[in-house]
């Protein structure tokens, strides 16, 4: 960029002004518009008292390249051209020999035939059908002859390259466009025609475009077309720092960079600033509408649609904005009608083809969606969204090898987009190529999982393959950050899978932890409750079969600890021999401590665990068991077991309610514990 910085801004502004004049008198309207925007971005650079060239005035520059005898024919043809009467314009200057009128003759002829082709193009027609391109054959022959005689200047060579590109002679078109750029470096249209022919970064860096500073705008633009957003952003930042900071074009391109980088908030901010400085601008407003769609800002989308209609309702961008508005309202049929209207205005409008394909997918019309995506690919083969849409459409109709082909192309265009990798992994999985699927999922995780489902897909795949340990490890990693999970149903599926795994392993604390998390899901609530009941039943079974431990019977009237220590058989004999009054008073004292009912007491450890799990933000596992209170010595008869959890489990056993069993009675009394 050092050579760019060495260019003085006044000199750059003079070149822009001269380019405006040259493109304007030849009818190159889009190039004129772009150069004028760049010229306005240098409004702080004052050269108003100087002519475009030091030795020529404005009038001289405007008439340069036009023979005096051809002034009248040129002015007539130019007036016809400005009102889009292209055939009349070409006819008016058919006999002119000077460079500008002759270029206008060729260019008006090309525009007339292009207009007829587009007017005859229907929604079902192929944009590059051979019979529609036949009209350009004679024009190509004429331009080839003129080029062979060296009668074409830089602008004529540019038109020659455009015709070659329209006939899919891309290699020859690339050579002609590069030659035109070297001859006329201020012709922005040549850069725009050349950019789609560059398919990789190495080829871009190897182009011999000369040393003019305009190539940096071309480089940044092509980087964005190749989705090399960081490289393009770096160049745009350098251009802003070098004096083009007020350029509307640069602001719009930087907003597009952040859109491609999925920095939605930053992109929306830049577009809002752009609309404040240029409120009647409709360029790139369709991209701004897409950003509002992603953020589900319906009010802003409605306001933008009304504003676009008030400015120009016959612009393709306006129709696209309205289509997006109806799409977010789920009125897909109306949205399709507006996208079709945009395509009637401009059949090569890429965004409308892609978005219309999305709408057909919403309506389950896969055939129409495939046709729309194919048209988008014809317009721009680097549109990864169209390739990805084709993969999805063929996936729906279960043609997995087709979808694999299209997903691979989308991945080549967006190698660091996790969505393409996840789609590839799912397709490989359906084709039983599990090893490739695992690689795709891991790579999606490495590059940054946008949708947050790659780890879940990986865990699910390992579970299908029978590798349960790896699957559990992946499920744990997936469930660690609940807020990052976009698909809540997948998250609850991970929870219930982990709960079932740990329940089978006998780790009931972890099983209950994950099962309680599923209670928030309507679909998984019943399954989680049943699992929790199973866990409680197995816990009680373990407590019942556990070997009893010696107990200490404490009495408020006992004064010596030695007299309170007996072996377990002696305790049972003593309890069996006690009177009914003593037994009743002991049970009443136990009921006063344990709560309203013994069944309620048996459920308290489970409820306490649930409360602990729901209060725990970090997901740590805690165990809540009742303990003895030192202040409970005022109770007449208390039995303190060695393992309180065992006694609680024994109290919940229905067999303890059977009469006539001394052991059952003793277990009923000895199960009383202090909470």
Residue-by-residue DSSP string for 342-354: HHHH-TT-HHHHH
Structure tokens at 516: 């309680």
Answer yes or no: is pLDDT of 640 > 60: no
Residue-by-residue DSSP string for 322-385: HHHHHHHTT-HHHHHHHHHHHHHH-TT-HHHHHHHHHHHHHTT-HHHHHHHHHHHHHH-TT-HH
- Residue 21: predicted pLDDT: 93
- Residue 644: predicted pLDDT: 37
Give per-residue pLDDT as tens, 587-626.
343 333 334 333 333 333 333 333 433 333 334 333 343 3
Answer yes or no: is pLDDT of 9 > 50: yes
Chain-wide mean pLDDT for the chain? Answer: 79
CB 354 within 8 A of CB 383: yes
Q: Which residue has the higher pLDDT, 674 or 362?
A: 362
- Which range has the worst mean pLDDT, 53-67, 258-272, 350-364? 53-67
Number of H-type helices and E-type strands within the chain: 36, 2
Q: How far apart are CA 455 and CA 152, in angstroms?
A: 60
Q: How far apart are CA 518 and CA 502, in angstroms?
A: 15
Total number of residues shown for the chain = 675
The mean pLDDT of 249-267, rounded to a whole number, is 92
Q: Which residue has the higher pLDDT, 393 or 631?
A: 393
Quote the distance between the C-alpha of residue 240 and its chain's center: 28
Of 106, 643, 122, 102, the C-alpha closest to 343 is 122
Residue 199: partners with Cβ closer than 8 Å, 6 or more residues away: 226, 382
**Planar angle of CA 581, 583, 588, nearest 5 degrees:** 95
Answer yes or no: is pLDDT of 401 > 80: yes
CB 632 within 8 A of CB 554: no
Structure tokens at 46: 């004052």
Give per-residue pLDDT as tens, 403-461.
999 999 999 988 888 899 999 999 999 999 999 999 999 999 888 887 888 888 888 88
Structure tokens at 18: 């001269």
pTM for this prediction: 0.72
Answer yes or no: is pLDDT of 666 > 50: no
**How far are the Cα atoms of 132, 164, 448 from residue 143, in angstroms, in the given order?**
19, 10, 51
Q: How far apart are CA 424 and CA 410, in angstroms?
A: 10
For the four alpha carbons of 394, 395, 396 and 397, in that order, the dihedral sign comes to positive
Answer yes or no: is pLDDT of 19 > 60: yes
Question: What are the φ/ψ torsions at residue 637 (nearest 5 degrees)?
Answer: -130, 120
- Which range has the worst mean pLDDT, 206-220, 364-378, 589-603? 589-603
pLDDT band at 53 (very low <50, low <70, confident <90, very high): low
Structure tokens at 94: 């058919």
The mean pLDDT of 256-275, rounded to a whole number, is 92
Give per-residue pLDDT as tens, 108-166.
999 998 888 877 765 445 555 555 567 788 899 999 999 999 999 999 999 999 999 98
- Which range has the worst mean pLDDT, 245-249, 254-258, 306-310, 663-667? 663-667
CB 461 within 8 A of CB 437: yes
pLDDT band at 547 (very low <50, low <70, confident <90, very high): low
Answer yes or no: is pLDDT of 555 > 70: no
The mean pLDDT of 286-295, rounded to a whole number, is 94
pLDDT band at 490 (very low <50, low <70, confident <90, very high): confident
């Amino acid at each position: 960029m050092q050579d760019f910085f060495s260019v003085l801004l006044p000199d750059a502004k003079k070149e822009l002004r001269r380019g405006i004049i040259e493109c304007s008198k030849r009818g190159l309207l889009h190039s004129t518009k772009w150069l004028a925007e760049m010229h306005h971005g240098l409004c702080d650079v004052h050269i108003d008292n100087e002519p475009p060239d030091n030795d020529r005035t404005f009038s001289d520059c405007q008439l340069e390249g036009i023979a005096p005898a051809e002034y009248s024919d040129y002015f007539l043809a130019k007036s016809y051209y400005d009102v889009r009467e292209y055939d009349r314009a070409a006819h008016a200057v058919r006999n002119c020999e000077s460079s500008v009128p002759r270029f206008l003759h060729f260019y008006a002829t090309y525009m007339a035939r292009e207009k007829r082709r587009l007017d005859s193009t229907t929604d079902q027609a192929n944009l590059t059908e051979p019979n529609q391109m036949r009209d350009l054959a004679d024009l190509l022959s004429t331009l080839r002859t003129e080029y062979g005689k060296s009668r074409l200047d830089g602008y004529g060579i540019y038109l020659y390259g455009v015709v070659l590109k329209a006939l899919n002679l891309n290699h020859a078109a690339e050579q002609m466009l590069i030659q035109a750029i070297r001859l006329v470096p201020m012709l922005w249209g040549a850069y725009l025609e050349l950019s789609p022919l560059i398919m990789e970064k190495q080829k871009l860096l190897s182009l011999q475009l000369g040393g003019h500073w305009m190539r940096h705008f071309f480089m940044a633009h092509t980087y964005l077309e190749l989705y090399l957003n960081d490289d393009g952003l770096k160049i745009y930042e350098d251009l802003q720092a070098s004096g083009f900071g007020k350029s509307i074009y640069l602001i719009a391109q930087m907003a597009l960079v952040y859109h491609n980088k999925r920095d939605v908030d930053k992109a929306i901010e830049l577009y809002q600033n752009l609309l404040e400085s240029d409120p009647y601008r409709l360029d790139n407003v369709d991209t701004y509408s897409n950003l509002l769609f992603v953020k589900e800002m319906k009010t802003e989308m409605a306001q933008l649609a009304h504003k676009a209609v008030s400015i120009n309702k016959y612009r393709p961008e306006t129709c696209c904005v309205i289509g997006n508005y109806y799409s977010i309202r789920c009125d897909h049929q109306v949205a399709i009608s507006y996208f079709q209207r945009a395509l009637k205005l401009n059949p090569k409008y890429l965004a409308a083809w892609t978005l219309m394909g999305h709408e057909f997918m919403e309506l389950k019309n896969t055939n129409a969606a495939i046709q729309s995506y194919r048209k988008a690919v014809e317009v721009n083969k680097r549109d990864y969204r169209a390739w990805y849409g084709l993969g999805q459409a063929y996936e729906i109709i279960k043609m997995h090898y087709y979808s694999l082909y299209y997903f691979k192309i989308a991945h080549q265009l967006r190698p660091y987009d996790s969505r393409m990798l996840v789609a590839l992994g799912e397709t490989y999985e359906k084709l039983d190529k599990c090893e490739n699927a695992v690689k795709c999922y891991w790579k999606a995780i490495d590059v940054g999982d946008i949708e947050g489902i790659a780890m879940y897909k990986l865990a699910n795949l390992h579970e299908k393959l029978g590798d349960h340990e790896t699957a559990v490890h992946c499920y744990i990693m997936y469930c660690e950050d609940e807020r990052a999970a976009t698909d809540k149903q997948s998250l609850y599926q991970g929870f219930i899978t982990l709960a079932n795994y740990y329940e089978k392993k006998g780790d009931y604390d972890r099983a209950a932890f994950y099962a309680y998390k599923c209670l928030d899901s309507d679909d998984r609530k019943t399954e989680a409750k049943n699992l929790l009941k199973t866990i409680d039943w197995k816990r009680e079974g373990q407590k019942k079969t556990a070997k009893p431990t010696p107990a200490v019977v404490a009495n408020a009237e006992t004064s010596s600890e030695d007299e309170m220590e007996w072996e377990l058989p002696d305790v049972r004999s003593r309890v069996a021999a006690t009177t009914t009054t003593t037994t009743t008073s002991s049970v009443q004292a136990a009921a006063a401590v344990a709560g309203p009912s013994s069944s309620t007491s048996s459920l308290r450890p489970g409820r306490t665990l649930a409360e602990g799990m729901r209060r725990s933000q970090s997901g740590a596992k805690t165990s809540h068991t009742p303990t003895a209170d030192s202040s409970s010595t005022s109770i007449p008869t208390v039995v303190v077991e060695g393992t309180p959890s065992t006694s609680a489990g024994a109290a919940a056993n229905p067999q303890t309610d059977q009469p006539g069993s001394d052991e059952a009675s003793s277990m009923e009394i000895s199960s009383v514990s202090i909470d």
